[in-house]
Amino acid sequence: MDKLKQMESFVSVALRGSLTAAAQAEGVAPAIMGRRLDGLEARLGVKLLVRTTRRISLTHEGSAFLEDCQRLLADFANAEASVSAGGVKASGHLRITAPAGFGRRHVAPLVPRFRELHGEVTISLNLSDRVVDLAGEGQDCAVRVGDMPDSSLVSVRLADNRRLCVASPKYLRQHGTPLHPSDLSRFDCLTLSSEASQTRGWAFRVPKNGTTEVWHLKPGGPLDCSDGQVLHDWCLAGYGIAWRSTWEVEAEVAAGRLVAVLEDFAAPPNGIYAVFPQRKHLPLRLRLWIDFLKHHYAQPGFWRAQ
Higher pLDDT, 234 or 214: 234
Weakest-pLDDT range from 19-33, 49-63, 195-209: 195-209
Task: In whole angstroms, give the CA distance from residue 20 to residue 28.
Answer: 9
pLDDT above 70 as % of the chain: 89
DSSP state of 155: E
- 268 by DSSP, 3-state: which? coil
Predicted confidence (pLDDT) per residue in 231-241, tens digit: 999 999 999 99
What is the rounded average pLDDT of the residues 5-16? 87
Weakest-pLDDT range from 75-79, 231-235, 300-304: 75-79
What is the rounded average pLDDT of the residues 106-127? 90
- Residue 131: which pLDDT band, with cuts at 50, 70 and 90? confident
- Kindly tell me the sign of the dihedral angle through the C-alpha atoms of 112, 113, 115, 116: positive
Task: In whole angstroms, give the CA distance from residue 140 to residue 96.
Answer: 6
**Mean pLDDT, the chain, whole residue set:** 84
Q: Residue 132: left (phi > 0), alpha (psi -120 to 50), or beta?
A: beta
Q: Is the distance from CB of 249 to CB of 166 less than 8 angstroms?
A: yes
**Pairing mode, strands 202-208 and 241-245:** unpaired
Residue 3 CA, chain-centre distance (Å), reads: 34
- Residue 200: which pLDDT band, with cuts at 50, 70 and 90? low
pLDDT at 301 over 80: no
pLDDT at 195 over 60: no
At residue 151, what is the residue type? S
What's the pLDDT score for residue 170? Answer: 95
73-105 b/e (C-beta count within 10 Å ≥ 16 → b): bbebbbeebeeeeeeebbbbebbbbbbebbbeb
Task: In whole angstroms, give the CA distance from residue 28 to residue 131.
Answer: 33
- 250 by DSSP, 3-state: which? helix
Alpha helices in 45-197, H assignment, sequence order? 60-83, 100-106, 110-117, 169-175
**Model pTM?**
0.63
What is the rounded average pLDDT of the residues 43-56? 84
What's the pLDDT score for residue 84? Answer: 52
Predicted confidence (pLDDT) per residue in 226-264, tens digit: 888 899 999 999 999 999 988 888 889 989 999 999 998
Predicted confidence (pLDDT) per residue in 37-47, tens digit: 999 999 999 99
- Residue 114: which pLDDT band, with cuts at 50, 70 and 90? very high
What's the pLDDT score for residue 81? Answer: 60
- Residue 209: which pLDDT band, with cuts at 50, 70 and 90? confident
Termini Cα distance of the chain: 46
Predicted confidence (pLDDT) per residue in 267-277, tens digit: 888 888 888 87
- Residue 82: which pLDDT band, with cuts at 50, 70 and 90? low
